[in-house]
């Protein structure tokens, strides 16, 4: 999925996510866009839905938050499963990919004749900087 042309709302939401230090919840995004005329959650969720489709934003299932893709231009859909390490102390997120992990999971999936649609890999813990 390639981004055709972002609408105003999509661009505003994406901009907020790109400039953020870490992942943001939909309601946090909403608050940051009140001055630009955002009034309701749906404005954010509808924009996010498209940005997820375009592959320029990722959803972190384990913390109900969203983050801009760390590999712009590479088209995350093409480089396999995306994994995230989430620091529960500072909120920083590291996005990475591991082809061997993809390979093992897809092997298992094949062996079960399971048809994967969306795969989530999220490691929550403490980043190096935050380590005690």
Partner DNA sequence: TCAATTGCGTTATGCTATAACGTGTGCAAT
Partner DNA sequence: ATTGCACACGTTATAGCATAACGCAATTGA
Q: CB-wise, 32 or 58, nearer to a second copy?
A: 58
Radius of gyration in angstroms for the set of CA atoms belonging to the chain, rounded to a whole number: 16
> Which parts of 89-118 interact with Zn ion (CB under 5 A)?
89-90
> Which parts of 23-42 interact with Zn ion (CB under 5 A)?
none
Q: CB-wise, 57 or 65, nearer to DNA?
A: 65
DSSP run (H or E) holding 84: strand 83-87
What does the alpha-carbon distance between residue 7 and residue 99 come to, in Å, rounded to a whole number? 34
- Closest approach, Cβ 83 to DNA, in A, equals 19
Q: Residues interacting with DNA, by CB under 7 A?
A: 7-10, 25-28, 37-43, 45-47, 50, 64-65
- For position 76 contacting Zn ion by CB under 5 A, the verdict is yes
Q: CB-wise, 9 or 69, nearer to DNA?
A: 9
Tokens of 35: 């001055």
- For position 83 contacting Zn ion by CB under 5 A, the verdict is no
Contact between residue 3 and residue 56 where contact means Cβ atoms under 8 Å apart: yes
Q: Which does 40 bind (CB under 5 to 8 A by kind): Zn ion, a second copy, DNA, none?
A: DNA
Tokens of 16: 């907020």
Pairing of strands 57-60, 83-87: unpaired
Pairing of strands 93-96, 57-60: unpaired
Which residues bind to Zn ion, rule: CB under 5 A? 69, 71, 76, 87, 89-90, 127, 130
């Amino acid at each position: 999925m390639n981004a055709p042309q972002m609408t105003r709302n999509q661009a505003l939401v994406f901009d907020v996510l790109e400039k953020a230090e870490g992942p943001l919840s939909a309601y946090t995004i909403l608050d940051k866009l009140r001055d630009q005329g955002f009034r309701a959650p749906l404005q954010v969720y509808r924009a996010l839905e498209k940005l997820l489709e375009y592959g320029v934003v990722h959803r972190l299932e384990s913390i109900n938050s969203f983050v801009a893709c760390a590999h712009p231009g590479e088209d995350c859909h093409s480089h396999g499963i995306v994994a995230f390490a989430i620091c529960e102390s500072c909120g920083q997120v590291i996005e990475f990919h591991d082809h061997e992990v993809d390979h093992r999971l897809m092997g298992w999936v094949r062996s079960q004749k399971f048809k994967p649609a969306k795969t989530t890999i999220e490691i929550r813990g403490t980043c190096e900087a935050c380590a005690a």
